[in-house]
């Protein structure tokens, strides 16, 4: 019993650490466009995003149930060692991609870590391939949808405001970016913080600490707080990549990207689908850039990001498998 409690404590600590790292890793998603166009000072943007991320994390638990219940075939076969290994793999990957200023998906990292840990512990029988397929489809389709909608929204704004002078347009949309960045931060919290909620709830349920697979209130508060603290910590390295290296943003294009991203991410939350806000925001920026001029997008940078996205699940699966071997040897 004492060992079980130690393992459970380790799960909770690692899950909150994952949320914290996710926060500072993904803070760029919510505020990069507004900061890069100088619509909001960086310090103000970070604190605003932290508060709204916390509120967003408290609105729903549907994504948490998807993450906790759809990756494995039976929640009872997952023990704390598997979850510790999955979290360890995801955390290491997030730190590496943050260090190299490469936008990467925390969602992909967590899914990959869980797949690797389950495969090496109980084999493929422990995986719910239908559930994993649904999650992967959502992760892959969301940036494509964001890219397509970004083109549409940007073209609508061009038609509505194309007759005004660039100075007038920029002045108006620089003010509106406060609202679009706020909505992006709220939607980010509504989807991303739930992933750790689902992992902790899965551990509590499989360990017999709770009788049904429902996210306890204290788990929601802990995960929302960890995410908000991570956002407040920063993420300046990735802000430079998201905000300036994909496409040179102006206030109107920054507004369009944020509005489109927040709609896409929150729609996924309502559908209980985990998506990568990193992918969605990047897809949105590519979309609004394409609407202006195809060669305005720095496709070389975009290609590097896509390569990192493709590598995430296989790399974190390997990390999760290796981590499980280590954890199993220790405990």
Number of domains in the chain: 1
Report DSSP letters for 113-148, one per residue.
Answer: HHHHHHHHHT-GGGB-HHHHHHHHHHHHHHHHHHHH
pLDDT for 235 = 54
Q: Are residues 110 and 162 in contact, defined by beta-carbon separation less than 8 angstroms? A: no
Mean pLDDT per 10-residue section of the chain, whose length is 331 residues: 78 91 70 73 78 86 84 84 92 83 77 93 91 88 91 92 84 87 88 87 87 90 88 60 57 88 93 86 85 74 71 90 89 75
**Predicted local distance difference test score (pLDDT) of residue 148:** 93
Closest CA to 150 of 20, 6, 257, 11: 257
How far apart CA 161 and CA 166 sit, in angstroms, is 9
pTM: 0.85
Both tokens of 322, joined, read: 């290796």
Domain that holds residue 160: 2-330
Residue 286: which of 150, 113, 140 has the closest Cα? 150
């Amino acid at each position: 019993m004492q060992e079980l409690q130690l393992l459970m404590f380790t799960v909770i600590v690692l899950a909150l650490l994952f949320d914290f790292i996710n926060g500072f890793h993904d803070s760029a998603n919510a505020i990069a466009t507004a900061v890069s166009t100088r619509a909001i000072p960086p310090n103000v943007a970070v604190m605003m995003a932290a508060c709204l991320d916390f509120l967003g994390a408290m609105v729903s638990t549907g994504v948490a149930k998807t993450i906790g219940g759809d990756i494995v075939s039976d929640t009872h076969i997952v023990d704390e060692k598997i979850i510790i290994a999955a979290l360890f793999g995801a955390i290491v990957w997030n730190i590496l991609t943050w260090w190299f200023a490469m936008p990467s998906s925390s969602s992909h990292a967590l899914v990959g870590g869980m797949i690797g840990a389950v495969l090496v512990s109980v084999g493929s029988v422990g995986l719910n391939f239908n559930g994993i397929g649904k999650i992967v489809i959502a992760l892959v389709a969301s940036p494509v949808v964001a890219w397509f909608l970004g083109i549409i929204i940007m073209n609508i704004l061009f038609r509505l405001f194309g007759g005004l002078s660039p100075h007038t347009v920029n002045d108006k949309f620089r003010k509106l970016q406060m609202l679009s960045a706020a909505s992006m931060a709220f939607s980010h919290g509504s989807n991303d913080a739930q992933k750790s909620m689902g992992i902790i709830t899965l551990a509590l349920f499989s360990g017999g600490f709770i009788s049904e697979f429902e996210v306890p209130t204290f788990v929601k508060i802990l995960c929302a707080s960890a995410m908000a603290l991570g956002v407040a910590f920063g993420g300046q390295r990735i802000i430079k990549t998201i905000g300036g290296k994909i496409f040179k943003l102006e206030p109107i294009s920054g507004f369009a990207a944020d509005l489109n991203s927040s709609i896409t991410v929150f729609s996924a939350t309502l559908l209980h689908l985990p998506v990568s806000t990193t992918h969605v925001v990047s897809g949105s920026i590519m979309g609004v850039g394409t609407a202006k001029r195809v060669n305005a997008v720095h496709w070389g940078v975009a290609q590097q990001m896509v390569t990192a996205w493709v590598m995430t699940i296989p790399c974190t699966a390997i990390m999760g498998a290796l981590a499980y071997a280590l954890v199993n040897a220790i405990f």
